Structure 1
Amino acid sequence: MPMYGPPRPVEGGIRARTERGTIGEEWWSRRFIDVLESFADSGRLGRGRSYARKGQVVGLKVDAYEVTAQVQGSREEPYDVAIGIDVIDEPTWEAIEEALASQAVFRARLLAGEMPPEIEDVFAAFGIPLFPGASGDMHIMCSCPDWGEPCKHAAAVLYLLAEAFDDDPFLILTWNGRTRERLLAGLRRLDSAEAAATADPLEIEETPLTERLDDFWTPAAIRDRPPAPPMPPGLLLKLLDPPKVKVRRRDLTDVLRPAYDALGETRGPA
């Protein structure tokens, strides 16, 4: 097996912030590192941390379902590293968004740029890991001759990826197929739809006073009120129970009806 010397220095490489100890500060980046360190070879991980702290990684980029970077080793040309995860189909992502939007706490924290710890449970409910849980959950590729998963070059990228998650937790969701902008737009859309569905039907839309000066002093009860239809003659005779009074053996209502008809003709339409 050929032996290689120390890695070549890199100008403008990405350096890990921590010079010793653990990498990752927030709960989500620590969860990611804990998973990585649970299955990876400790020797390769140690060399990967060293590469990350020396700034050997350049061009780290997080896209949907794939992270790519270049890592400078001892050879002249840097190695190409790609780390992929399984794709989440669109119907599942829509269901995840609905589940997140249904919880006011999740929605508020995500809109504020925070990552609620319970978000892992939401993904787990759909059988989707928010973070890779084992080596088989990541598809690690490196152009170096080491077949280890991860090799030291990929390990360096993964450690720096954890620090990138510290800076922007939404990169976790970007890697899982949803950018920050698209996720928040979806949450706002669902939030607006929910608010519209629960709107108070008795709520009255306010009108600026300057638009109602012409009818401001008009009693509110009669504003824009359509004219009442004319009352048919004899309406009361039809609505009220007939009195037990007869005039020459005729019901009183029958006697009065001609008089009501005559009054209606005299008044004309209302």
Structure 2
Amino acid sequence: MGHPREPREPHHPYEPHEPHEGLRARSRRGTMGERWWSRRFIDILETICDKGRLSRGRTYARSGRVLELDIAPGHVAARVQGSRPEPYGVDIRIEAYGDGDWEVLTEALAARALYRAKLLAGEMPPEIELVFGDCGLPLFPDEQGLEMECSCPDWGFPCKHLSAVLYLLAERFDDDPFLVLAWRGMPKQSLLDDLREVSDDVPFGERLSTFYEAGTSLARLRHQPSRVSAPADILLRTLDPPAVKARHIPITDLLRPAYRRLIDPRNPGEPSP
């Protein structure tokens, strides 16, 4: 996926320090990603990418240095203002699935009435990742499925320009979960049209017996292999946090050490990221 480590990009005396007028991340501190699908994407990045460069990328994302960000099937193109006057070009690529693959995926999603209903209502059910996995077509890219390039001279990987774009991409996913599917090659409206067509073909009375069934058996869930080890507090990241505080501290921040101790009783917990 990456390049061998080389010296960092040298500092240039004309590097601008004033605020930039590009795209700005909404998050002002900590990590990014508010919904389960964007957090899943960020968790993968933080597993396979250098944390120091990702941290500098967050700073770039928050300071308006990403000037453009365009998402197309299998491709993200962006321009990022770095230390030189000319912005750097960033390209991020994954596999966009073809019509045959999407036909299989759409049939698998439509076969579960509850998933289909949630998608038609504009929701992204967490179980959708299992459906993709069962079809042998991962929803999110891993290290082998993510190709990234930047025109900057920094050979460290990923550079801060790439990292900034990745974090802003996660916030785009926050705004519209169907962008995750569009990046894989299926526009939102096309998917919804296909799901409605399948729904119209099957009388509702014939779907009552399976409407509330789980999409994956409990035995299958117990033996589902994990492609990327999930953080101990993944449930807290996935669910919308309750508006509850104790001594002005959000309840989710207080629960994270307990979740970590459940995974490893020897772990006394660590500060929330």
Q: RMSD of the TM alignment (CA)? A: 2.0
Any gaps of 5 or more consecutive residues in structure 2?
Answer: 1-6, 208-273
Displacement, 1:35? 0.3
Query: Do the aligned partners of 1:52 and 1:156 also contact (CA within 8 Å) in 2?
Result: yes
- Could you tell me which residue of structure 2 aligns to residue 229 of structure 1? none
* TM-score after normalising by structure 1: 0.69
The within-5 A match list for 1:186-201 is 186-195=194-203
- Whole-angstrom distance in 2 between the partners of 1:149 and 1:3: 15
CA separation of 1:139 and 1:9: change in aligned 2, threshold 3 A: farther
Is 1:90 paired with 2:76? no
- DSSP 3-state at the match of 2:126: coil
Instruction: Say yes or no: does 1:103 pair with 2:109.
Output: no
CA distance in 2, matches of 1:132, 1:165: 14
Q: How does 1:170-249 map to 2 (within 5 A)?
A: 170-195=178-203
Q: Displacement of 1:145 after TM fit?
A: 1.3
Match of 1:34 in 2: 43
Q: 2:11 — aligned with what?
A: 4
Quick one: which of 25, 46, 52 aligns to 1:43? Answer: 52
Which residue, 47, 56, 68 being the options, matches 1:59?
68
SS class of match (2:69):
strand
1:115 pairs with one of 121, 124, 148 = 124
Contact 2:96 2:183 in 1 (8 A): no
Matched, 1:157 2:176: no
Question: What is the number of residues matched between the two proteins?
Answer: 198
Secondary structure, aligned partner of 2:85: coil
Q: For residues 87 and 16 of structure 1, what CA distance do their matches in structure 2 show?
A: 26
Matched, 1:169 2:196: no
Distance in 2 (alpha carbons) for counterparts of 1:53 and 1:76: 19
TM-score normalised by length of structure 2: 0.68
Q: In the aligned structure 2, how far is the partner of 1:84 from the partner of 1:8?
A: 30
For 1:107, give the aligned amino acid: R
In structure 1, the gaps of 5 or more residues are: 200-270
Could you report, residue by residue, the CA deviation over 1:43-73 in whole angstroms, capped at 9, with x for unpaired residues?
2111101100101002211110001111000
For residue 137 of structure 1, give the secondary structure of its aligned residue in structure 2. Answer: coil
**C-alpha deviation, 1:7, in angstroms:** 4.8
CA drift at 1:197 = 11
Contact 1:24 1:166 in 2 (8 A): yes
Change (3 A) 1:86 1:118: same
Q: Rg larger in 1 or in 2?
A: 1
**Residues in 2 aligned to 1:138 and 1:169: alpha-carbon distance in whole angstroms:** 19
Match of 1:14 in 2: 23
Using the alignment, how far apart are the partners of 1:158 and 1:7 within structure 2?
22
Amino acid at match of 2:38: S
CA distance in 2, matches of 1:151, 1:109: 37
1:10-65 per-position Cα deviation (integer Å, ceiling 9, x unaligned): 65311111111110100111110000000111121111011001010022111100
Q: How far is the alpha carbon of 1:107 from its aligned partner?
A: 0.9
